[in-house]
Structure 1
Amino acid sequence: MSKQLHLISDGNFSNHHLQIIKRIYKSIDYLHIREKNKTAKDMLEIIRALKNIGFPLAKIIVNDRIDIAVMKQCAGVQLAYHSPPVSLVKGNFPGLKVGKSVHSLREAEQAQQEGADYLLYGHVYSSMSKPNQHPRGLVELQEITSTLSVPVYAIGGMTPERTKEVIAAGSAGIAVMSGIWQADDPIQMAKAYHHVLNTWEGG
């Protein structure tokens, strides 16, 4: 069974990002719109622009903004520690896929109990986006994936080679930000991740 690639926007969404997505969207399973400094109007414009290049709304996950995800009929929302509870979102919008970002086994267990459809766990390796935070490593990732039944996606410092390690540790796939946006060749890098995720044959 192939594993999933979640691409997360880097907070500076522009036409440059749009042009990259246009060339790689068949390689990614979901695009997370994570634009903390954008207004609701900006977010709606991003989704409109994505739709105009043929990117399916069924592959868009909006960070934190449940209202926008519902209005634009996107796939779902990604919640953080400051977001509304998973159970409240699922109870009011059962059609939304609801993910939760977690950083420990305890947080992961709580999110699953509240009804999260999947979890993003990290950061697993040293990450360019969080240079001052100690990576959490593979041991706890494996503990979480072996304890929980919901899919867990590893995030933080992902490379195609490390992707093999996190899948071996039970991850259902990976989430990537700088690994694609800051790559010398984002299109080739997206294809490299996609290849590893779709040719995995480990135990």
Structure 2
Amino acid sequence: MSQKELHVISGGKHTWSEIAKIAAQIHPYVTAIHIREKTKSLDEVFIGVQYLLEQGIPAKSLYVNGLPSIALALQTGGLQLPGTTPSLVIQDEFCRGIQRIGVSVHHADEAKWREKEGADYVMFGHIFATNSKQGVPPRGLEQLKQLVNHVNIPVIAIGGMTPARVKSVLDTGASGIAVMSGIWDAADPLGAVLAYHDELQ
């Protein structure tokens, strides 16, 4: 993917109908809508993703977080794995046939290791201070740049992303950004997405 990527990650605070309503507006302008519902069971996530598909959200726009069986069964656009994922899971039979697999990483060596395993991209953060990681110092643009130079696959930056910060992130060589509250909690989610989208262009 040569164009810059915009990943939008759900945060477990919205109903499926709310997610569907926002996803219907934003999917034409984003690379991926990640379904990251940590408090929900596998069955609940399966039914929820199925509901989103029934509401007309394209399968290619949906990435399932942490649940390969759902990504495979519903043929979603991708799968995002947590940094705690055991080695070689990407090469497991569960993951064969999934279009695109990303892994969350926290340092350059980890990113290189995941690339060797077969990850299609890595997600790295948090780059800037963010309310979801209070008390944890951000990794910053310099660490992001070092990691980007360490791998040959796309690096998606996450954490404290605002439209005003997009250029500085892209200047490191990162392939795109991931956003949570900046879109889901916005008074106008579509307007927020378009602001990020414009900066990424």
Pick the TM interval, shorter chain: over 0.9
The aligned counterpart of 2:79 is 77
CA contact (8 A) 1:121 1:155 kept: yes
Residue 195 of structure 1 and its aligned partner are, at CA, apart by 1.0
Instruction: Please say if 1:128 is aligned against 2:131.
Output: yes
Tell me the TM-score normalised to structure 2 length. Answer: 0.92
Preserved CA contact (<8 Å) 1:90 1:98 = no
Q: Which runs of 4+ in 1 moved over 3 A?
A: none
**Which runs of 5 or more structure 2 residues have no equivalent in the other structure?**
none
Deviations 1:171-196 (A, max 9, x none): 10001101111223211111111111
Q: 8 Å contact 2:156–2:178 — kept in the other structure?
A: yes
- The aligned counterpart of 2:13 is 12
Residues 35 and 65, structure 2, Cα contact 8 Å, conserved in 1: yes
CA RMSD across the alignment: 1.4
Q: Secondary structure at the match of 1:22?
A: helix
Once the two structures are superposed, what CA deviation does each residue of 1:87-115 show, in whole Å capped at 9, x if it has no partner?
A: 33334233222111011112111111211
> Does residue 53 in structure 1 map to residue 55 in structure 2?
yes
1:88 equivalent in structure 2? 89
Which of 175, 178, 194 matches 1:175?
Answer: 178
Structure-1-length-normalised TM-score: 0.92
- Matched residue of 1:183: which SS? coil
Unmatched tracts of structure 1, length 5 or more = 199-203
Say how many residue pairs are matched: 197
Q: Distance in 2 between matches of 1:155 and 1:123?
A: 5
- Do 2:158 and 2:177's aligned partners in 1 also have CA atoms closer than 8 Å? yes
2:44 corresponds to: 42
Aligned-pair identity in percent equals 39
Distance 1:71 1:42, change over 3 A: same
